Amino acid sequence: MATASVLSQNLRDFVYYPVTVWREFFRPTLYFGCNVTDVDTEHEVLDDVGSYGSQINRLLDAVDVLIDLEHERVAALPEERRLKLAALKILHQQASDASKRAEERPRLF
């Protein structure tokens, strides 16, 4: 009896259902994973709330506020944990900068 390859073992539970959403004709989206039945919900959230990047930026804004409010507690953390928070603040700044650049570019539509 032959053993299955590592690749086939990892792909055994992989789900891929291609979905065509015609309203996204100029911005096609492929859905990978198990929530392909939630396509309408995903589009509703994206239409009403904003892109995933926008949602993540809001979370980063809130985390940044919490870090600043807890300055003394953050300062008392071990260096390794402070560096992780510093990396998150850098990520936040980079995401904000990228968002501003995108907003400044002329739009095609």
Same domain, 59 and 106: yes
Query: Residue 28's closest CA among 43, 41, 38, 15?
Result: 43
Domain tally, the chain: 2
> Domain range holding 42?
10-49
Same domain, 60 and 96: yes
For residue range 59-108, list pLDDT tens digits in order. 999 999 999 899 899 999 999 999 999 999 999 999 889 888 988 888 76
Examine residue 104 and state whether it is found in any structural domain, yes or no: yes
Examine residue 77 and state whether it is found in any structural domain, yes or no: yes
pTM score, two decimals?
0.56
Same domain, 57 and 86: yes
Same domain, 77 and 56: yes
Examine residue 1 and state whether it is found in any structural domain, yes or no: no
Give the whole-angstrom CA distance, residue 26 versus residue 49.
Answer: 20
Predicted confidence at residue 47, as pLDDT, reads: 82
